[in-house]
A = this chain, B = another copy of it.
Amino acid sequence: MHADVAFEVWSSDLQRRIEDVLDRALTFGAGTPAPLAEAMRYAVLGGGKRVRPLCAYAAGELTGAEPTAVDAAAAAVEMIHAYSLAHDDLPCMDDDVLRRGKPTCHVAFGEARALLAGDALQAQAFATLGTSALRNAGEACALLAHAAGAPGMAGGQAIDLAHVGVAMSLPELETMHRMKTGALIRAAIRLGAACGRPLNAEETGALDTFAEAAGLAFQVVDDVLDVEGSAATLGKTAGKDAARNKPTYVSVLGLAEAKRHAAELREEAHAALRTFGSAARRLHEIADWVARRTN
């Protein structure tokens, strides 16, 4: 991975790489029922921006870890993300039919298989991370579990569920997104960084600050795109938050202010990286990418 290639080259190389890694991590022996494996692979492979794996690889680059050392962590966080989408799209949750430009998992395979595929993907994330060469794989599993579970992603989704049609203040909205998407992005960055040289407390804090700002920027832009984008560019249903009367950055701040907030968060993310100098180049570029994306 040349240090001097453009972000587009770096990211598309790693997007191809994580696709292969995930493909291998989701190749099962004869003992695993093919219909379940098929639904799991459908939910993960062949799509997605791979934001979380890219965060892991970029953080690994920051601490001097080769991509091969980061593969397991990158795959594990993406499996957690993919399982959450499969469950989120179920009729009892967001009841969505389009994801990554394809029918959602339950539309393709039925609710029961989509539910089980999500369950099995969560397990597979820990199977992958637990056997990785990380210095302390047990701690890594616990870190991912906290990010995925009640204090993190699942907790954020519970808050989301409880606020359909209920107004939220900006701090409440931020708390929800810190848990729902921020926690897993932070885990991706921490786990990727853990694949290289140890960081001191100041550096760990700076990375967490970056992760927090970049994660929120990602969500603000998501809310903007939900209003401004189309299903064709997004690969998922557009306008669904407004249709379901969910609080968003746009509904709380208005469109112009939401865009300004995204730019602010990008600046915060960049500022947090200063202590690392040029080693943080890819994380810096990820913040740009996340804040300026159109899908």
Q: What is the interface of chain A, defined by CB distance below 8 A to chain B?
A: 28-29, 31-33, 35-37, 40, 83-84, 87, 90, 92-93, 110-113, 115-116, 118-120, 122-127, 129-132, 134, 136-146, 148-152, 154-155, 157-159, 161-162, 179
Contact = CB atoms under 8 A, between A and B. Distances in A.
A224 B151 CA distance: 41
A36 B152 CA distance: 12
B129 A141 contact: yes
Given A111-B92, A112-B92, A159 B33 contact: yes
A40 B150 contact: yes
B161 A116 contact: yes
Residue of A125, A127, A161 ringed by the most chain B CB atoms within 10 A: A127
Contact of A115 (B28, B93, B127, B149): B93
A140 B142 CA distance: 12
Given A113-B161, A155-B31, A36 B150 contact: yes
A131 B141 CA distance: 8
Contact of A90 (B115, B132, B138): B115
Given A32-B150, A123-B154, A138-B138, 14 more contacts: A33-B150, A35-B162, A36-B154, A90-B92, A92-B111, A119-B154, A120-B149, A123-B148, A126-B145, A127-B141, A130-B145, A131-B142, A136-B138, A137-B138
Contacts of A151: 28-29, 31-32
Nearest to A110: B92
Contacts of A40: 150
A115 B138 contact: no
30 contacts: A28-B151, A31-B155, A33-B150, A33-B162, A35-B158, A36-B155, A84-B119, A87-B116, A92-B110, A93-B112, A115-B115, A116-B158, A119-B148, A120-B150, A123-B146, A123-B148, A123-B154, A124-B145, A124-B150, A126-B126, A126-B142, A126-B145, A127-B141, A127-B142, A127-B145, A130-B142, A131-B142, A137-B139, A137-B142, A138-B141
A100 B104 CA distance: 34
A35 B159 CA distance: 9
B120 A154 contact: yes
Contacts of A113: 158, 161
A61 to B, nearest CB: 23
Contacts of A110: 92
Given A151-B29, A162-B33, A132 B122 contact: no
Contacts of A138: 129-132, 134, 136-138, 140-141
A113 B87 CA distance: 12
